[in-house]
A and B are shown apart, each in its own frame.
Chain A
Amino acid sequence: MSFREKSAWISVLSISGIYGFYFWSVIHTGPNPGTFHFGGLLMTVVALVVLEIVLHIAAAIFNPKEAQAPRDERDKLIELRAMRVAYSGLATGIAFACFFGAFTPPIIFNTNSLLFILVTAEILRYACQVIQYRRGA
């Protein structure tokens, strides 16, 4: 498995795990379930950054040569394809948010809902990279 594929696995698992816990805690805990907690989100972002750095360093130790090498043309193509899929997901999510916001009275998407759309698009991006690396193209 190449370093780039390991990196995509690390990102998809880290984001799913950390944000999965965040959204679970938003729904199930706190005085007002579903409301936005800035402190909780800040801790989530810090935890994600630390976890990704630690896991990427661990992956780089096992294959330092590949970790230092720049992305080749296939890596770039895989990233571009994954970005296209993720953008479609993000645009669809935002279009839904705008659609429901147009109702009278409007169904307003709160910050956590918009964050969920953004996180889902990120997971989609890295999952697409993993799938393409597994397929070989």
Chain B
Amino acid sequence: MSTWLEHLGLFARAPDARPLSEIAADIDAELEFHVEESARELSARGMSWEDAHAEALRRFGDYGRIRRECARTQMGERIVMQRIQVVLTSVLIVAVGLLLWSNHEARAAMNAERAASTALLARVEAQLQSQFGGRAPIGDEAQRRGAPPSTSSTPVEPGEYVGADGTKMSLDSAATSWLASFAERNESWRHGLDVANRLAKLPGTQGVEILTPIYSSLATPHREQLFKPFVFDGGHPLAVEVLALGMRDDTTSVRERAALYLETYAFRNLLYGDGAAEEWLAEWRDRPVADVLRANATAWAREYGNVIASYRQIPSASADTWLAVVDHVRPENFARAGVDLGAILREHGVDRATDEQFEELTPSERRHAEIVRSWCRSK
């Protein structure tokens, strides 16, 4: 242990800063002095100088080996330090090299990603061309379905669309710019929601027209979030169009969210049941939103009346599952579409049936029933 510590101490000392040639000269001078003094003493005892010198060298030992040992002791740490310097310099050179290489690789990856994005955008443009080349864009279709006139402060001429940067451009250029805007932070659902919020606020039905061709190219966190601005706050005139994209999504989490929001319009969850979603969408996707809301609310009110009237004959779990849709229906969407939800419910005796059976309901069902009562009271 002490030897080890001593070695540490040896290396902790500052190396001899003198030139190596000077250190070697000192060693030679010291060793030669010894041999000379020894030979002088032997000579003084009567030996010839040659014999005395030879005897002095014999007593001294292996002069070359001892000289090397002295040099190693004196210069060893210098040599070690130099070797450490060489190693550190080599490591530094390798590190800098790796840094430059990784930088180069990152640039190459970025260029590749840029090229891939360009190719993707080119495909989107081609899709846009093929979709809208010979027929009217969705906007015209939306107007036919009762979409309100644009309230945007950005006046746009027919055929003009607002890009992600706010400037006017063609539909394919706008789609390209919005796709790029989404792609700025693919991993952030908040970013996706922010972009979707801006997209949904575009004049008229532009948001849906732009979203449709780029939807499948968006990141999953963005696809999960983008339905909200089209469904919340009264809903977009083409909300069902947007939700239809989600119901056909390959990703389960996206389909689940789309189905949840679609309950506002369908008054039931369409995710479960073979072909239920496709059947419903085939019937209602192209219809004006007011028609969708009125017809589906009427169907539910009619069925609710039957369910609530024969409550005692229906297993509790079944009734509760059926009533749970109430949690996801948004009355404000009816108001915005000009549909009187309360009148529909009252017309089908929902208010009367609910009051009659209220005491029979489970706590969970009563909570839902209270919501229905509030709808019935609304004008």
Q: Tell whether A and B belong to one assembly.
A: no
Report A's interface with B, CB cutoff 8 A: none
Report B's interface with A, CB cutoff 8 A: none
